[in-house]
């Protein structure tokens, strides 16, 4: 962490400085009960841990991004071909699951892009297809 000189107190890390500012803010508001203050800190730490856990395992579920909206889109497409009048009446009902699944795929995609910005590898290997001495063809996916 970067070191900050803050008045008489020297060598504050960024975390302790933000903790200090948060504490000062709570004192200014007039928070008397320390338990409430510590609960707020615990909630913030738990949220950060949950986000970091999700970010670690995002690459494992990258295949979900293109496949998640696929069932709804395929059912709408086949419905328009096979039974066009009934499908036209059901468009509003199919719109909600379609938007919901696209939103979930968007969350995965945003997490992957954040992880990519933070410096993860852009090629994820799944398995080696053929291996011969120093030559191997590996199967995986490219995230760009």
Distance CA 32, CA 90 (A): 56
The whole-number average pLDDT for the span 93-119 is 79
Q: Which long-range contacts (CB under 8 A, 24 or more apart) does 40-46 make?
A: none
Please determine, for residue 44, whether its predicted confidence score (pLDDT) is greater than 50: yes
- Average model confidence (pLDDT) for the chain? 66
The whole-number average pLDDT for the span 90-110 is 81
pLDDT at 2: 41
Please determine, for residue 51, whether its predicted confidence score (pLDDT) is greater than 50: yes
Distance CA 18, CA 72 (A): 45
Please determine, for residue 28, whether its predicted confidence score (pLDDT) is greater than 50: no
Please determine, for residue 3, whether its predicted confidence score (pLDDT) is greater than 50: no
Please determine, for residue 118, whether its predicted confidence score (pLDDT) is greater than 70: yes
């Amino acid at each position: 962490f970067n070191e900050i000189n803050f008045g008489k107190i020297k060598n504050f890390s960024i975390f302790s400085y933000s903790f200090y500012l948060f504490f000062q803010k709570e004192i200014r508001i007039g928070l008397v009960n320390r338990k409430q203050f510590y609960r707020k800190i615990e909630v913030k730490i738990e949220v950060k841990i949950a986000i970091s856990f999700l970010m670690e395992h995002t690459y494992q579920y990258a295949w979900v991004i293109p496949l998640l909206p696929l069932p709804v889109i395929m059912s709408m497409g086949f419905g328009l071909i096979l039974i066009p009048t009934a499908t036209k009446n059901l468009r509003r009902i199919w719109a909600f699951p379609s938007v919901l699944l696209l939103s979930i795929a968007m969350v995965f995609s945003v997490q992957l892009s954040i992880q990519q910005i933070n410096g993860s590898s852009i090629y994820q290997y799944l398995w080696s297809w053929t291996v011969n001495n120093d030559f191997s063809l590996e199967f995986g996916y490219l995230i760009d």
